[in-house]
Amino acid sequence: MVYQRGGTYEVVLTGTSYQPSMELSVELYSEDRKVGLMSVVPYNITQSGSTYTYRFNVRPYDYMSNYIKSEHYQYYWLNDWYETNETININNPYPNILKVNFKYKYQYFSGLQYTGATGYTDYNHYTDIPYCATSTGFTASGFTNTGNYFNYVGGTLQMGDEKYFLSNFDQELGTVVGTGLTINTVDINRRLSPMSQYLFDYPSLPEMSETSRFLTDSPRIQYIQSKENYVLYYLNGQTGDRQVIEADYAVFEFYNNNNQQIAGTYFEQQLNFSGTTYASPTGFTDTLKIFALPCGPKDITNLFATIDFSQVAYYRVQLFYAYPTNSVNRITLGPIGPVSEAFYFYLYDNCGPEDTRLGFLNNRGGYDYYTFTRYRQDIKKIKRETYDNRYYATSLSSPDRNVGRTVKTFDTDVQREFVLESDFLSEPMGNWLEQLFYSPQVYEIKEDFISPLDRQDKVYKDLRPIQILSTEVETINTKHKKLNKYRITCKYADGFFVNKGF
């Protein structure tokens, strides 16, 4: 499984002759469809006796990232989680994740044509297996082949020395090792991979019930208003190297001001249904996807349960695993135990003058949300191009001719901008919010609505695409703590005269 920047693979070729034109031909596949071909020259050639060793570095993410597409879901179904799950998760056309595989062969010039390997070899995962006594008749080499599919998860596309903000560090799970014409990961110790933090129990062999974190760096304690939405994103399904991340249930618990659980408000929502590939994966089937769990007060009311939020001080959300069954109703037995960290949502009413809620694609591949509660400053910059009608009039009658209007509008460009200010925030909070500033996908989020022209159980999310143009920060120091206040200038990214959907 490869996350964001992807892994760098070292392919090692050994032979008994020196070939100066040696190269590695790599075929790239997306969703089992060939999308590219790359040729790689060796970065190092060494000789030991009569043996020549050619080392190649293969880094396919830069190219494959062109096929990753992300979009915040735009509608859901009122009081129907099953249909909503089908729409926003299972059949999501822009899931921000890609199943890829690679094939390679070596070749070099001999005479006037290429020669070398006759066929392509699959890149494969090799996963650690526990030590096994030879008396069992199973001679374990230490690793087992766990398939040839890799998963690319898109995060914030970042700028830097060339075109990235952050350096290209490996974020790869599923070690690939061996000898001869085989593949090795640069980072053999997967525990050092940043993506490993999204698996709680580091795998020692392919098995069920890997546990996952939510795809966010946001604080685990959130402050939210009863009219607002919030969505947590997580990995669900079987990875290309046969690690099963199963989030079968979401458990909600609601508490009052005395930290007492409110009677009758606890509920559990089944997420994975028995009989599906997410609850019962088989073989090398790669089903890994990013799933969305709507869990804001507005989402809970519209999708799951009727809760009187006037009595709720805060509530808790966590993912649990369960066991699949053969029930004709596709019931999964559970929830049994937690497979994610818990998120806490504290409710408040904004006493400030105005709310502006933003959602943005974060570094981990999910979406985060933040509400600015101060006054916003709206700006419209209007630019016009004109022409003088005196020289082009084809008749003596035209609009406004009697009042002498000869200069007419040829084109109008409207740039809509607004300025937001945050409260003074702690350093950790500010560090997380900086992901908003360089995110390529930011939305202003208005309240959900039901269109009178569409089905009355179809709830639309009112998303306004925006861009962050500039940021400023003001810092104060209080009692050995540094607090930052951010001022950002935003621009609407949808054309003023363009109908949405076109």
- Give the rounded percent of residues in the chain with a pLDDT score beyond 70: 76
* pLDDT value at 97 more than 90: no
The yes-or-no verdict on residue 4 having pLDDT over 60 is no
Give the residue-averaged pLDDT of 338-367.
88
Please report which confidence band the pLDDT of residue 120 belongs to, taking 50, 70 and 90 as the band edges. Answer: very high
Digit-coded pLDDT (tens) for 450-476: 999 899 999 999 999 999 999 988 888
Number of other residues whose CB lies within 10 A of the CB of residue 95 = 22
Identity of the amino acid at 137: G
pLDDT at position 202 is: 33
Residue 1's pLDDT is 33
Return the minimum-mean-pLDDT range out of 259-263, 400-404, 441-445: 400-404
DSSP 210: B
Strands 23-30 and 97-110: antiparallel
Q: What is the chain's alpha carbon radius of gyration, rounded to the nearest angstrom?
A: 28
Task: Write down the pLDDT at residue 142.
Answer: 56
Q: Report residue 281's pLDDT band, with 50, 70 and 90 as the boundaries.
A: low
Band the pLDDT of 130: cuts 50, 70, 90.
Answer: very low
In angstroms, rounded to a whole number, what is the distance separating the alpha carbons of residues 101 and 239?
12
* Residue 367 pLDDT exceeds 80: yes
Q: 92 or 136: whose pLDDT is higher?
A: 92
Q: How confident is the model at residue 85 (pLDDT cuts 50, 70, 90)?
A: very high
Q: Please check whether residue 217 is in contact with residue 274, taking contact to mean a CB–CB distance below 8 angstroms.
A: no
Decide if pLDDT at 174 tops 50: no
Q: What per-residue confidence (pLDDT) applies to 396?
A: 66
Q: How many CA atoms lie within 13 A of 329 on its CB side?
A: 4
Whether the predicted pLDDT of 315 surpasses 90: yes
Spatial CA neighbour of 347 closest among 406, 414, 410, 301: 301
Range picked from 57-66, 368-377, 383-392 for highest mean pLDDT: 368-377
- Per-residue pLDDT at 127: 60
143 pLDDT exceeds 70? no
Which of 46-60, 74-88, 238-252 is predicted most confidently?
Answer: 74-88
For residue 173, what pLDDT is reported? 39
pLDDT tier, 151 (very low <50, low <70, confident <90, very high otherwise):
confident
Residue 163 reports pLDDT greater than 60 = no
Given this model, what pLDDT does residue 481 score?
Answer: 81
Give the pTM: 0.83
SS3 322: strand
pLDDT surpassing 50 at residue 206: no
Contact (Cβ atoms closer than 8 angstroms) between residue 271 and residue 340: no
Q: Are 227 and 234 in contact (CB under 8 A)?
A: no
Percentage of the residues of the chain whose pLDDT score is greater than 90: 37
pLDDT (average), residues 383-397: 74
Among candidate residues 148, 156, 188, the one with its CA nearest the CA of residue 172: 188
* Least confident piece of the model among 237-246, 454-463, 489-498: 237-246
User: For residue 245, what pLDDT is reported?
Assistant: 75
CA angle (289, 153, 494) in 5-degree steps = 95
Whether the CB-CB separation of 319 and 338 falls below 8 Å is answered with yes
Mean pLDDT to the nearest integer, 408-421 = 90
Q: What is the pLDDT of residues 12-41, one digit of tens each?
A: 899 999 999 999 999 999 989 999 999 999
Between 387 and 167, the more confident residue is 387
Question: How confident is the model over 396-416, as a mean pLDDT?
Answer: 80
For residue 258, pLDDT beyond 90: yes
The pLDDT of residue 486 is: 93
**What integer is the mean pLDDT of 37-54?**
93
Contact predicate 340/213, CB 8 Å:
yes
Give the pLDDT mean for 304-326. Answer: 87
**Does pLDDT of 46 surpass 70?**
yes
Residue 162 has pLDDT above 50, yes or no: no
What is the average pLDDT score of the chain?
A: 79
Q: What is the mean pLDDT of residues 47-63?
A: 87
Q: Which residues of 307-335 are buried (b: 16+ CB within 10 A; e: fewer)?
A: bebeebbbbebbbbbbebbeeeebebebb
